[in-house]
Amino acid sequence: MASSSIVARGALPPGFENRLYDPAEALPRDELSALQLRRLQETVERAARVPSYREALGRAGVSAADIRSLDDLRRLPFTVKDDLRRNYPLGLLAVPREQVVRIHGSSGTTGRPTFVAYTRRDLDTWTGLVARFLVAGGLRPEHTVHVAFGYGLFTGGFGLHYGIERVGAAVVPAGGGNTPRHVRLIQDLGAQVLICTPSYALHIGEVAAAEGLRPDDLALRFGHFGGEPWTEELRQEIERSLGILAFNNYGLSEVIGPGVAGECGVREGMHVQEDHFIVECLDPKTLEPVPEGEVGELVITSLTKEATPVLRYRTRDLAALDRRPCPCGRTGVRMGRVVGRSDDMLIIRGVNVFPSQVEEALLRVDGTAPQYLIEVSRPGALDEVKVKVELRPGDLRDEMRQMIELKDRIDREIHAVTGIRMSIELVAPGALERSPGKARRVIDHRKAAVA
Ligand SMILES: [Zn+2]
């Protein structure tokens, strides 16, 4: 698999100079643990100023003084998205309102929006964390960076923006807007680095190709992508279509935004910035730790966030942790890519299926674009799944026989990956809706409200 990537992973890419932005990224583990413990005690103290945390800590019978080792983390109560909703808009604020200098929020696609706040020191911390993963992934002061994240309540745009400036690179805050305009700006301003969601990076590649541009016509060399789960196959697809190295990063607004974890040049997992966050990997049902290296739900405790600290925040993101040392010298535990969300998981005829599995299957089939939509319904007693798959431009000239073969091939791959038979519908290139934000991959007609 790695051979089709433009650079094999597991080693630093040729000409890639591994550089730390902050020596704290390579703290020896014992020093890191001591720092985490001290900061955890401070965080519990800070959280206890918030009425709803004070109550939860009281119910759990634990206070800052009871935190004597990192194992005591497990005595702390969990925080869930609903706690943020219940405390709408800023009931979880742990500092006086006049110390707040920024407010971000998450979209309200599955309910009320939620807000998080930042003090001046929080913004400084956040900017430094973003600068760390950008530098780990090759950003240098001489680069020009095209940011195609929206600028708004969403943390992606502003989070990356200030991190890029901190490194000293030139930022093009292109924001939303139409894709041909992005392609033109990237070309005219000679950006070497692209920042957006992975699905949007692929779309930029499609539009550039449709305009007759080859990867060599753009100065782009690498990209930092985040904001939604993606697969290794999609990484290779983006790398091929734009002629770049694609780096993965991770974060969520409830915790701070982008900057919780990011890939180094080795690109085998994202280093969690453990001097600022403790990450646990738990079985979402039992809430007990999963065996080492297995996929579980990430649960994150902030260690330095002042305005809206979080204790054991259940992210719903499913990923594995890798505690083996990394050749780059960073000591932060590495998290694997997010393979799904514990609440995105579809249960089809009793089998757990993640949209990312369908994507993985489609990317194994030449001739299809990785644009798809899964429609789930229950017309009778059984769940039925239809997958609409876009053809690549050019395939419409093909013979009917080839189309049937393609459908069969997709059917077989999806069945191999998920164990489920789904009905396949091929649709014209460009027929599925594109979005500059998170791509919509599932419509579940079984639910009254669409997730
Ligand atoms: Zn590394």
Residue carrying structure tokens 């009778």: 380
Distance between Cα 295 and ligand 1 center (Å): 20
Cβ atoms of residues 350 and 225 within 8 Å: no
Distance between Cα 251 and ligand 1 center (Å): 17
> What is the per-residue pLDDT for 243?
96
Name the DSSP class of 79: B
Number of Cα atoms under 13 Å in the Cβ half of residue 169: 26
Distance between Cα 327 and ligand 1 center (Å): 6
Measure CA 97 to chain center. Answer: 30
CA 264 to each of CA 23, 88, 224, 327: distance values in angstroms, whole numbers, following the listed order: 14, 37, 11, 10
At a CB cut-off of 8 Å and minimum separation 6, what does 177 contact?
436
> What is the per-residue pLDDT for 397?
57
Cβ atoms of residues 308 and 315 within 8 Å: no
Distance between Cα 328 and ligand 1 center (Å): 4
Pairing of strands 193-196, 144-147: parallel
Rounded to an integer, what distance in angstroms lies between the CA atom of residue 257 and that of residue 114? Answer: 13
Distance between Cα 267 and ligand 1 center (Å): 7
Distance between Cα 23 and ligand 1 center (Å): 14
Cβ atoms of residues 300 and 277 within 8 Å: yes
Q: Which residues lie near ion ligand 1 (Cβ < 5 Å)? A: 264, 266, 326, 328, 330
Q: What is the pLDDT along the chain (451 residues), one digit of tens a residue?
A: 333 445 556 677 777 889 999 999 999 999 999 999 999 999 999 999 999 999 999 999 999 999 999 999 999 999 998 899 899 999 999 999 999 999 999 865 556 789 999 999 999 999 999 999 999 999 999 999 999 998 999 899 999 999 999 999 999 999 987 899 999 999 999 999 999 999 899 999 999 999 999 999 999 999 999 988 888 999 999 999 999 999 999 999 999 999 999 999 999 999 999 999 999 999 988 999 999 999 999 999 999 999 999 999 999 999 999 999 999 999 999 999 998 888 777 878 777 787 878 888 888 887 776 789 999 998 877 888 999 988 877 655 556 778 888 888 999 988 888 888 899 998 888 888 887 777 788 888 886 433 3
**14 burial class (0-12, 13-18, 19+ CB within 10 angstroms)?**
exposed
**All domains of the chain, ordered by start, with CATH?**
2-28+118-341 (3.40.50.12780), 346-444 (3.30.300.30)
> What is the per-residue pLDDT for 329?
94
